[in-house]
Amino acid sequence: MRRDERETATASRRAYLKYGAVVGGGLLAGCTGSSSTGSEASETETSSTTSTTDQTESGDSEGGSYTVSMEPVGEVTFEEVPETWVANNGSWADMGVALGLEPPKAVWLTTRYHTQYYDEIDGVSVDKSDMVSLYQDGVSKELFYELDADVHVMDPNFLLNRFEGWKQADVDEITEKVGPLFGNCIYARHYPWHDDYRYYSLYEGFEKLAQVFQRTDRYEAFSTLHDEFQSNVESVVPAEDERPAVAVLWGVGEQPEEFYPYVVGDGTGFKHLTDLGVTDALANSDVKDFHGSRAAVDLETVLEVDPEVLLLRGYESKTREEFRSTVVASLENHETASALTAVENGDVYRAGGLYQGPITNLVLTQRTAKQLYDVEEPLYDGQRVADIVAGEL
């Protein structure tokens, strides 16, 4: 079907999804240099309402239009609840799972949406066999037409700045002809184009998505569960001087001799580590964070830091046994790597994925608590998670 034919065929449905920008703020603060609330330090935001209904952002709509606001896109008004969607990454996709939604039609890279985490919770599973990767040696605008989603849960600045090829006019076209973009790049806080508008925590972003899909009851149930979880986590974290020094590295290949160093920071990709209060071996070293340097370090440099624990990214698609029989085995057999304290003591683990949502964060925090602090007791109620996903609140 030609593009003009698709546009005609979907015009009626698109009439129910309207897009609007926050008054006084640009559509894309990171590109225009303007922002409705300023820097990421701003933690307050006024709830917006639509002029056509008394529905606010905080509750579920009963058939009327409703408006949800999030930087950098501003206000998006919906005349009906979206049915189909695209997610930027596994953080947002996992939020959708928590809300009991059908999986998104696409994410940036399906290989980095690690649905095997759900195996840890009976009653929760996701089939991503039909899910599409948005990034395929570039991101095709035509693919957005083919996916024909009601809403695209992604930060438009990410689309404009991560690679060459997309312009503001392209974002405007997809917004008008297909469906709005609504999202914020929350997994890390290192992109210079994000300096001019606020970041959201995992649960702040989760609440916004719940408002879009009008499932705030599930969000509230998860928020309560998360409060209990946080209390349990705090109870198992040892005193600061008893925590091992940890280095988070992205290994290059199955027999890594080069690594991309990650200094533990803010963003949903580090939530399990910050909540567990990890002692970051790289933070006080001369090693520069990959996000700023884009440079790898060799094993000799890692040996100079010599962390007590190595948490390696890039291997989440491997099981624990596969990881140990390939990556860990190669380090144990390497002349330099075998001298590392973490390798000698058997403290080399998978670090967890970059993209965490409310469910995957529970799973990864539990796993990491066992790795670092030998925690055996459950930190969250898996049955309660499954019940909320199923709408049994």
Judge contact between 318 and 348, C-beta under 8 A.
no
69 and 201 co-located in one domain: yes
Judge contact between 139 and 159, C-beta under 8 A.
yes
69 and 169 co-located in one domain: yes
Residues β-bridged to residue 151: 85
Question: At 63, is the pLDDT very low, low, confident or very high (cuts 50, 70, 90)?
Answer: low
CATH number for the domain that contains residue 188:
3.40.50.1980
From the CB of residue 379, how many other CB atoms can be counted at a distance below 10 Å?
18
Q: Is residue 63 part of a domain?
A: yes
User: Where is 156: in which H helix or E strand?
Assistant: helix 156-161
Q: Is residue 218 part of a domain?
A: no
Give the residue with greater pLDDT, 48 vs 98: 98
202 and 242 co-located in one domain: no
> Which of 213, 245, 279 is where one domain is finished?
213
How large is the C-alpha radius of gyration of the chain?
22
User: The domain containing residue 277 runs over which residues?
Assistant: 226-389
134 and 243 co-located in one domain: no
> Which of 184, 213, 242 is where one domain is finished?
213
> Which of 213, 242, 273 is where one domain is finished?
213
247 and 383 co-located in one domain: yes
123 and 156 co-located in one domain: yes
22 and 167 co-located in one domain: yes
240 and 187 co-located in one domain: no
Q: Environment class of residue 63 by beta-carbon count within 10 Å: exposed (0-12), middle (13-18) or buried (19+)? A: exposed
Q: Is residue 315 part of a domain?
A: yes
Q: Is residue 150 part of a domain?
A: yes
- Say if residue 357's pLDDT is above 50: yes
From 54-58, 106-110, 363-367, the region with the lowest mean pLDDT:
54-58
Cα angle for residues 294, 33, 291 (degrees, 5° grid): 10
Q: How many domains does the chain have?
A: 2
- State the DSSP string of 11-77: HHHHTTEEE-PPTTS-S-HHHHS--SS-STT-------B-TT-S-BTTS--SSS-EEEEETTTEEEE
Strand residues in 165-267 grouped as ranges (E)? 245-251, 258-262
**Dist CA 334 CA 75 (whole Å):** 55
Q: Is the dihedral of CA 86, 268, 29, 211 positive or negative?
A: positive
Q: Is residue 220 part of a domain?
A: no
243 and 208 co-located in one domain: no
Q: Is residue 21 part of a domain?
A: yes
207 and 291 co-located in one domain: no
pTM: 0.85
Q: Is residue 221 part of a domain?
A: no
Give per-residue pLDDT as tens, 186-240: 998 888 899 999 999 999 999 999 999 999 999 999 999 999 999 999 999 999 9
321 and 266 co-located in one domain: yes
Q: Is residue 254 part of a domain?
A: yes
Residues β-bridged to residue 74: 70
Of all residues in the chain, the percent with pLDDT exceeding 90 is 77
199 and 243 co-located in one domain: no
Question: At 60, is the pLDDT very low, low, confident or very high (cuts 50, 70, 90)?
Answer: low
- State the DSSP string of 329-384: HHHHTSTTGGGSHHHHTT-EEE---S---HHHHHHHHHHHHHHHH---S-SS-HHH
